[in-house]
């Protein structure tokens, strides 16, 4: 009888401890998780990785995604593979950001993970078609169709996804769309639209866009009058953008 009571008491204590741990894990702030993620990615230290593993194990979804991100940035191939698998689980659970990230990882590959263009296209399409319409996923789909990665090249689909990414505010997509209107064979030549998208990308501090605008002012292109002051202003802005990128 005493043994049975002791066993019941021990079980109750274990259940309480597990419940408290679960509650504690789910109440960890996103700020703390971001801090562990930053430390883990920058230093690959054991402590932040352990914290993310523990918090993730007790059901914190934000910690799971942060853990996946740290793992895929690891120098160890087994951890990279673990991170990709964790992203796959999150993607299957319907997390749009995880779907987009998994699609991008499978498009580019990692030292320990070979590209899988078919699976990449599946996840990227889901992420780009979701209500959130992930801009980076749309841009990656444009890259996939433009280059024919695992699928027949399709310039029309590439432009469709590129336009979606540009409309969603992705500066690199805006810059490439500007070049399509300026130089591309898929869209009709249109200097006004090229200038519009190039200006949007430049305003978003994309160095290439500001440099392209500088040259347009110097040469009197895209319907612009030659203007040395504007040329130098955009050259300086592109240098500022590069410094900003290097500090990120």
Return d(Cα 129, Cα 123) in angstroms, integer: 10
Tracing tokens 């971001």 back to the chain, one arrives at: 34
Query: If we measure between CA atoms, which residue out of 160, 165, 159 comes closest to residue 135?
Result: 165
pLDDT of 246 over the 70 cut: no
Return d(Cα 137, Cα 122) in angstroms, integer: 11
Higher pLDDT, 44 or 139: 139
* Average pLDDT of the residues in 208-215: 95
In sequence order, the 6+-apart residues with CB closer than 8 A to the CB of 74 are 44, 80, 83
pLDDT in the model for residue 133: 82
Q: Could you tell me the pLDDT band of residue 245, with boundaries at 50, 70 and 90?
A: low
The angle formed by the CA atoms of residues 184, 181 and 152, to the nearest 5 degrees, is: 45
pLDDT of 227 over the 90 cut: yes
Return d(Cα 89, Cα 94) in angstroms, integer: 9
pLDDT of 9 over the 70 cut: no
Residue 156: exposure state from Cβ atoms within 10 A (0-12, 13-18, ≥19): exposed
Structural domain spans, the chain: 169-248
pLDDT in the model for residue 203: 95
Beta-bridge partners for 113: 110
* Average pLDDT of the residues in 47-63: 91
pLDDT in the model for residue 13: 40
pLDDT in the model for residue 44: 86
* Average pLDDT of the residues in 40-54: 91
pTM of the model: 0.81
Tracing tokens 């200006």 back to the chain, one arrives at: 199
pLDDT of 110 over the 80 cut: yes
pLDDT of 7 over the 60 cut: no
Helices 96-108 and 77-92 sit at what angle, rounded to 10 degrees?
140
pLDDT in the model for residue 6: 52
Mean pLDDT taken over the chain: 87
Return d(Cα 83, Cα 72) in angstroms, integer: 5
pLDDT in the model for residue 185: 83
pLDDT (tens digit per residue) in 27-39: 789 999 999 999 9
pLDDT (tens digit per residue) in 10-29: 443 433 333 334 444 557 89
pLDDT (tens digit per residue) in 153-204: 999 999 999 999 999 999 999 999 999 999 988 999 999 999 999 999 999 9
């Amino acid at each position: 009888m005493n043994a049975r009571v002791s066993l019941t008491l021990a079980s109750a204590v274990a259940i309480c401890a597990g419940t408290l741990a679960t509650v504690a894990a789910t109440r960890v702030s996103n700020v703390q998780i971001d801090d562990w993620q930053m430390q883990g990615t920058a230093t690959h230290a054991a402590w932040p990785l352990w914290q993310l593993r523990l918090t993730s194990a007790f059901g914190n979804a934000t910690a799971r995604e942060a853990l996946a991100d740290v793992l895929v940035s690891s120098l160890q191939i087994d951890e990279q593979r673990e991170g990709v698998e964790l992203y796959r689980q999150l993607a299957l659970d319907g997390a749009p950001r995880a779907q987009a990230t998994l699609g991008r990882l499978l498009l580019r590959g990692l030292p320990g993970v070979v590209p899988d263009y078919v699976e990449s296209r599946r996840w990227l399409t889901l992420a780009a078609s979701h209500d959130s319409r992930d801009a980076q996923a749309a841009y990656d789909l444009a890259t996939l169709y433009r280059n024919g990665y695992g699928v027949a090249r399709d310039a029309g689909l590439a432009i469709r996804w590129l336009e979606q990414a540009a409309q969603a505010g992705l500066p690199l997509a805006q810059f490439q769309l500007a070049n399509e209107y300026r130089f591309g064979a898929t869209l009709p030549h249109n200097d006004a639209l090229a200038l519009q998208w190039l200006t949007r990308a430049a305003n978003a501090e994309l160095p290439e866009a500001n440099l392209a605008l500088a040259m347009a002012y110097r040469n009197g292109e895209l319907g612009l009058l030659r203007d040395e002051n504007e040329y130098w202003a955009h050259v300086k802005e592109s240098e500022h953008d590069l410094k900003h990128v290097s500090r990120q």
